[in-house]
Structure 1
Amino acid sequence: MSNSASDKLSEQNKKIDLSTKLAFGAGDLGTAITAMIGISFLSPFLTDVAGLSPGLAGRTQLVGKVWDAVNDPMVGVLSDRTLSKWGRRYPWMIWGAVPFGLFFFLNWIVPHFSDNPEFNQIALFWYYTAASILFNAFYTVVNLPYTALTAELTKDYDERTSLNSFRFTFSIGGSILSLVIALIITKFVPEDKALKYLILGAICAIISVLPIYWCVWGTRKRAEAVGNQNPEIEQPVSIPYLQQLKIAFTNIPFLFVIGIYLCSWLAVQLTAGIIPYFVVNLMKLPEIHITLVPLTVQGTAMSMLFVWSNISRRLGKKAVYFMGMSSWLIAQIGLFFIQPGQTGFMYLLCVLAGVGVSCAYLVPWSMLPDIIELDELRTGQRREGIFYSFVVFIQKICLGLAVALMLESLGWAGYLKPVGNIAQIQPDAVLNIIRFFIAPVPAIALFLGLILTYFYPITKEAHAEILAELERRKNRV
């Protein structure tokens, strides 16, 4: 890079131009589309369309999540050690994008293996397990290096919050787009559920791949410039793997971020996973509300992102998290007591939940780059991949277990599959399970997250001291 370009970046080191922020945000669009379609529709697709028992449907998702969690640290460590003209992160995104879309689509096919119902159940279980493993593996290949870019595009505390605001605007926008596509397909293919999901999977697979390449080409120039000014960012990590684990898990602020992120997303994904059953079986509403409910939550969350980002600049990340989670807790408690016929009240609670969900997107991911600088101060090396991978590793293990337990519980309680397109009247035990997973479990997770946030030690002032010490160390070299 020329000296003039370096000087220009040095003068504007705390500011990222709009086109770069847009390109960075686009990197989360495709993965958000697939994640929202998966969490909103995969469980009812497997139980009600593919015909798997709730237990097998839960286990196939659990196996996929466990493998996904296992390969997260592998990809994180390997991307930390990658050395190429494209840097450490971009080769993974470039080569992983197309398989990521392809294997997502394969999750929405209903193959017929045998006329023997028992054999067909087992064959379907292994088919969806394989599809889940492959999709989740390539999800990690493109998404984990992408998330690690946050710390490589800027070192500024507030600019990272702004960068994540763009990321999650695209993320929530992708969620909304996928739900709108689902609404349109439902309108034109109202009766044939298998065809509806096949079309939905195909369209979302195609549009999920392209934004990844936008992100690569739109942020590479900035990443290269920052890397030239801060060569330590692009240096492969030399610390042995087991020693990296030990260092990571003795970093106390990192453990707080893991807990905050886990509690937030446990609440998000458990609520999203049970919504199809909550809407149809407990609220007794038409299936279109399966899409409208998360659409309301995500729409509210997106509208609040830049509000929270601006408040964070004045009051800090912890204050924003407390305000957002308080709103969300009220919504979760209300969902426990809601009764069929209270549809307007349900949507009011969705809006309150959306206010908090935006904080779950924004705050934990804005904290993690600060942890990386603290680790750099202690170890002398930049290890974005290992930290990002272990946040997601623990999240996926716990969420995989939670979703599997939810579906197993529905099966134990005697869940009745729809007859054609008509939902059956469920036993009281099933309705109690739905209430349990829509409110008390997410509410407990949110409350624990608030406790962890209260004790989180890295403030804006503490982060400024970390950066100042890193700068002094660099100048002494």
Structure 2
Amino acid sequence: MANLGEKIKDILGIEGEVKNTLIPACNYTCANITLGGAGYVLNQFHQQFLAYVEGMGTRDAGKISLINGLWDAFNDPVMGMITDRTRTKYGRHRPYLIIGIIPFAIAYVFRWYSFGLSSGGDATATWLWYLFSAVLYSTSYTVMSIPHTAMLPQIAPHYFQRTQFRIVEYAMNSVGQISSYLFAALALSGFSVKTALTALPNPTPDDRGKYLLVGVILSLWFLWPPILSFFKCKEPSSLGQPKDKINFRFLFNEYKLVFKNRSFRQYFIITLFYALSKNFYHITDQYFMISVADMYKLFISLNIISGIAEFSGAPLNYLLVRYKGKAFCGKLLGPLMVCGLFLNIFISPTSAQGFKTAIIILSAILYNFGFSGPGFVAENIQPDITDVDEMITGRRREGVVATFRTLFSKTIASVISYVVGAALELFGYNPQIQAPSLQSPKTLFGLRFNFVIMPTVLALICVLSIYSYTMNKKDHEYIKELIKERHEKGFVEKPAPEKLVRLEKITGQKWENMWISSKEG
């Protein structure tokens, strides 16, 4: 039995006691119950809540997301620089989990209720209220998420150790997503499991109280994980570390400099097209389910199936990273994501009910199981980019590199929300006219274009871009060795030609132009 346990530990890449690997990972990733779960219900329901319940046009709802996204584009990089320069005995990143959580919880309630503005018919005040609540939410989320993401390279410095943290983070994200989704589903169905799973009614203005309940329940649920993570996660003190001044010219140069890193550019492309594809799909899904497939009554059941399919990909992704490298899972599972998206092209208002149900279920399984692969690639290569960046610049800039993960996941979602809203309005879609039989051919094409065609094309580009990322464990260990040697000795001997070519390919820089080649003093 002991030999079996050791074999399992070897497969999972765990050295020493399991608890010494698992407990620190759980302490760090506990915050992801909030950071990974809070946006899930918003992405699933909020755009449609504004349209169907609050009576807002799809373009106006999209404008809120667009403005909020532009604000995010500003505050994410600023927060990255702030956390890189924070000096406390609790470290550079950890204190912000406590600073951000209270305004975050308040904003979460505000996003689901306008305190009588919409029911009173004041469209302008309603729009301004939801813009304010979106900005408050995104700002407080940024205050927590940027430092939390940037903290990982500090507390998990080794190549595969980061993957172990990421798989636990994946589980915590799923806990946050599943729990929040179940709470929301029960609140919206009047706490009837049967209604939630098989007969969810289309959303209407009469549901305002139900959505307020969603906001209150989830704001309370999301309070505790970041607080627990703050007290349990151990980050080294940052007191005594040198601190650069912040100025906006320096801010611009920081992000201009990071794009010199070829590995970062590859990571950026993968993340960009992955986020674009997912957001086109998720922002349009309720519109498609209501006004093309006429299957909204099964919306919650389908999302539960989707969640199970996505999470079932996690163990496979973990083992593929362990034995095949960090990019292989995206190459293997990514095509399933593309196929799952494209299947929905065969659904029309006149399709037989059984056919529509079969296609939607198969599509949900393939898409969600498939996108776990490219998503795992992006999650796992991000911490390694920090080490490549240090080899080029000589500085630890976790906040700058980590910013792009949260910036693009949020900003792209916001911009695509506006693009989809404006496009649907252009195609003639009216949220107050929900029946598929009442949609014009032009409107039906617009819904298919945003839900099927665009996500499929973008997912295909994402999968193809993964093939450009070639850094492996051996490369990363060698880079870490060189950085350590440079710090300890003040200089590094020029590598052998074969290794030099490899380093220059990974960084996109000539050896002579990188910090690693310079001599101290």
Of Structure 1 and Structure 2, the greater helix share is in: 1
Percentage of matched positions with identical amino acids = 23
Aligned ranges 1:199-348 → 2 under 5 Å: 199-220=213-234, 223-224=235-236, 236=243, 240-287=250-297, 289-339=298-348, 340=351, 341=353, 342-348=356-362
For the residues of structure 1 that align with 2:405 and 2:117, how far apart are their CA atoms? Answer: 38
For the residues of structure 1 that align with 2:20 and 2:456, how far apart are their CA atoms? Answer: 37
Residue in structure 1 matched with residue 504 of structure 2 by the alignment: none
Residue in structure 1 matched with residue 90 of structure 2 by the alignment: 86
The range that moved more, 256-265 or 386-395, is 386-395
Tell me how far 1:182 sits from its aligned partner.
2.0
For the residues of structure 1 that align with 2:388 and 2:456, how far apart are their CA atoms? Answer: 31
8 A contact 2:275–2:412 mirrored in 1: no
Q: 1:298 to 1:446 in 2, by over 3 A?
A: same
Q: 1:375 to 1:105 in 2, by over 3 A?
A: same
Tell me the number of residue pairs that the alignment of Structure 1 and Structure 2 aligns.
Answer: 456
Q: 1:13 to 1:442 in 2, by over 3 A?
A: farther
In our comparison, the structure showing a higher alpha carbon Rg is 2
8 A contact 1:417–1:423 mirrored in 2: no
For the residues of structure 1 that align with 2:362 and 2:412, how far apart are their CA atoms? Answer: 29
Q: 1:415 to 1:424 in 2, by over 3 A?
A: farther
TM-score, with normalisation over the residues of structure 1? 0.89
Q: 1:252 to 1:352 in 2, by over 3 A?
A: same
Say whether residues 1:34 and 2:47 are aligned partners: no
8 A contact 2:114–2:130 mirrored in 1: no
For the residues of structure 1 that align with 2:292 and 2:436, how far apart are their CA atoms? Answer: 11
RMSD: 2.6
For the residues of structure 2 that align with 1:361 and 1:136, how far apart are their CA atoms? Answer: 22
Tell me how far 1:167 sits from its aligned partner.
0.7
The residue identity in structure 2 corresponding to 1:69 is A
8 A contact 2:95–2:230 mirrored in 1: no
Q: 2:62 aligns with which of 35, 53, 58?
A: 58
Tell me how far 1:96 sits from its aligned partner.
0.5
For the residues of structure 1 that align with 2:87 and 2:286, how far apart are their CA atoms? Answer: 45
The range that moved more, 264-273 or 391-400, is 391-400
Partner of 2:269, secondary structure, is helix
Say whether residues 1:388 and 2:392 are aligned partners: no
Aligned ranges 1:68-217 → 2 under 5 Å: 68-113=72-117, 117=121, 120-188=122-190, 192-217=206-231
Q: Deviations over 1:258-299 (max 9, x none)?
A: 111111122222211111111111111244x23232322222
Partner of 1:439, secondary structure, is helix
Say whether residues 1:444 and 2:488 are aligned partners: no
For the residues of structure 2 that align with 1:21 and 1:114, how far apart are their CA atoms? Answer: 44
8 A contact 1:172–1:299 mirrored in 2: no
Aligned ranges 1:380-459 → 2 under 5 Å: 380-418=394-432, 425-459=438-472
The residue identity in structure 1 corresponding to 2:407 is F
Say whether residues 1:349 and 2:359 are aligned partners: no
The residue identity in structure 2 corresponding to 1:20 is P
Q: For structure 2, list consecutive stretches of 5 or more residues without a partner in the other structure.
A: 1-14, 192-199, 491-521
For the residues of structure 2 that align with 1:219 and 1:109, how far apart are their CA atoms? Answer: 34
For the residues of structure 1 that align with 2:460 and 2:258, how far apart are their CA atoms? Answer: 25
Residue in structure 2 matched with residue 3 of structure 1 by the alignment: none
The range that moved more, 251-260 or 291-300, is 291-300
Residue in structure 2 matched with residue 8 of structure 1 by the alignment: none
Tell me how far 1:195 sits from its aligned partner.
1.3
8 A contact 2:150–2:399 mirrored in 1: yes
8 A contact 1:417–1:424 mirrored in 2: no
For the residues of structure 2 that align with 1:21 and 1:417, how far apart are their CA atoms? Answer: 44
The range that moved more, 152-161 or 39-48, is 152-161
For the residues of structure 2 that align with 1:116 and 1:184, how far apart are their CA atoms? Answer: 27
TM-score, with normalisation over the residues of structure 2? 0.82
Tell me how far 1:87 sits from its aligned partner.
0.8
8 A contact 1:165–1:305 mirrored in 2: yes
Residue in structure 1 matched with residue 28 of structure 2 by the alignment: 24
The range that moved more, 75-84 or 294-303, is 294-303
Q: 1:180 to 1:360 in 2, by over 3 A?
A: farther
The residue identity in structure 2 corresponding to 1:314 is Y
Q: For structure 1, list consecutive stretches of 5 or more residues without a partner in the other structure.
A: 1-10
Q: Deviations over 1:330-351 (max 9, x none)?
A: 1011112234422122112111
For the residues of structure 1 that align with 2:168 and 2:181, how far apart are their CA atoms? Answer: 20
Partner of 1:87, secondary structure, is coil
Q: Deviations over 1:49-77 (max 9, x none)?
A: 11111111110111112212211001000
8 A contact 2:321–2:328 mirrored in 1: yes
